[in-house]
């Protein structure tokens, strides 16, 4: 992957050292980590793909407790921990009240996402209780979604939005971002195009670009 090997964790650590008065003056510039989540911000989606075990796009088909089942439309990357993922449907786990993970309720049934997942490879002490199987850390060979970076993007009609590149810390949405076609995300994950290509594609549309896009859509619709 074409990432920034010299990227330092000093910057996120430095953010925590700002005095409270500065944060009060500019609250939007220094968003804070979610409560009960002790981790450093790992970056926008383009920065965290090398940390994932599995990157997929797919549709949420069921939810129960702090887990969700997702039907895979496409596997963009598979690190192959334990075995290569071959199932059409996988289970992902969100926050159980103890983890730095998103609330699984933020992913409604029927919605589509691009997710960079981490595999559960060992039992955590007290992590999975057969008596409460719907609320737990998760089962071995399932996956979990981290909240320590932008590990997910919204997918709608083949276009992706979210904190894709150079987004704010502790924010998972970017309403100013121009939707980016999924094939471009796939090409970046596969190291075919550089991050700069994503940056250019995600730049907000100017009025000229909007007019060109609307004209193109009109022509294709004829």
What pLDDT was estimated at residue 131? 73
Q: Phi-psi category of 175—alpha, beta or left, where left has phi over 0 and alpha has psi -120 to 50?
A: alpha
Judge whether 206 and 200 are in contact, CB under 8 Å: no
User: Which residues in the chain come in under a pLDDT of 50?
Assistant: 1-30
Judge whether 167 and 150 are in contact, CB under 8 Å: yes
What pLDDT was estimated at residue 19? 39
What pLDDT was estimated at residue 83? 79
- Taking Cα atoms as reference points, which of 54, 53, 55, 65 lies closest to residue 94? 65
pLDDT digits (tens, 9 = 90+) for 94-115: 998 888 999 999 999 999 999 9
What pLDDT was estimated at residue 79? 93
Those residues whose C-beta lies under 8 Å from the C-beta of residue 210, and which sit 6 or more positions away, are none
Burial of residue 25, with CB atoms counted within 10 A of its CB: 0-12 exposed, 13-18 middle, 19 or more buried: exposed
What pLDDT was estimated at residue 172? 83
Q: Please tell me whether the overall predicted TM-score, pTM, comes out greater than 0.85 for this model.
A: no
């Amino acid at each position: 992957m074409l990432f920034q090997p010299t990227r330092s964790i000093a910057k996120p650590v430095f953010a925590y050292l700002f005095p409270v008065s500065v944060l009060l003056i500019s609250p939007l510039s220094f968003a804070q980590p979610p409560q009960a989540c002790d981790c450093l911000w790992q970056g926008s989606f383009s920065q965290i793909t090398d940390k994932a075990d599995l990157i997929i796009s797919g549709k949420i088909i069921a939810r129960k407790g702090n887990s969700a089942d997702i039907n895979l439309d496409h596997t963009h990357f598979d690190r192959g921990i334990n075995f290569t993922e071959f199932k059409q449907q996988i289970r992902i786990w969100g926050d159980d009240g103890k983890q730095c993970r998103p609330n699984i309720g933020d992913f409604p049934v029927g919605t589509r996402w691009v997710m960079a997942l981490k595999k559960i490879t060992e039992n955590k002490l007290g992590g999975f209780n057969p008596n409460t199987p719907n609320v737990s850390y998760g089962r071995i060979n399932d996956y979990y979604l981290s909240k320590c970076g932008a590990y997910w993007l919204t997918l709608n009609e083949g276009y992706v939005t979210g904190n894709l590149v150079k987004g704010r810390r502790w924010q998972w949405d970017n309403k100013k971002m121009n939707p980016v076609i999924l094939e471009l995300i796939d090409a970046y994950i596969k190291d075919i195009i550089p991050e700069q290509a994503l940056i250019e594609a995600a730049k907000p549309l100017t009025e000229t670009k909007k007019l060109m896009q609307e004209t193109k859509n009109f022509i294709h619709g004829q």
